Amino acid sequence: MKIALLLIGAVFVGFAAWVRLAPTQSQDWHIDPQVTDNQDLEGGVKRRVSGDQTTLEALDSLARVTPRTELLAGSLQEGHLTYVTRSKLMGFPDYASVLLRDGHIEIYSRLRFGKSDLGVNKARVDGWLSQL
């Protein structure tokens, strides 16, 4: 019984380490959001709102002060940014790609591991947008 518990514990610790330390290739996550309509997805969310460079700068400021969030790729000058936000307990990464195009800001925020994000991407993105 002790061996089984130790094995389960080792698997859990190994999984937690893998989630936190798995390398992120920015080219895999810094993508064109391709948002035409607002969508709530099982593992994320897509949003499209009217906006310009000033709106994008305000959104960038909100994203950068979001706990455990950092810029992964892109810049305001490009009008294309991708952020990674990690969950507090396990460090699961979520990626939010933001693009300014034709008077709109497109956001595609999604999980990396699993199928369901339990609504955290929707809550985060909708929170950013409500603060704009």
- Per-residue pLDDT of 11-39, as tens digits, reads 877 777 777 778 889 999 999 999 999 99
Q: Give yes or no for a contact between 110 and 44, defined as CB atoms under 8 angstroms apart.
A: yes
pLDDT reading at 112 higher than 90 = yes
Kindly report, residue by residue over 26-84, the tens digit of the pLDDT: 999 999 999 999 999 999 999 999 999 999 999 999 999 999 999 999 999 999 999 99
How much is the pLDDT for 38?
A: 98
Q: What CATH number does domain 25-131 carry, 1.10.10, 2.60.120, 3.30.310, 3.30.1490?
A: 3.30.310
Residue that is written with structure tokens 């937690």 in the block: 16
pTM of the model: 0.89
**Torsion angle, alpha carbons of 59, 26, 15, 40, to 10:** 40
How much is the pLDDT for 15?
A: 74
How much is the pLDDT for 47?
A: 98
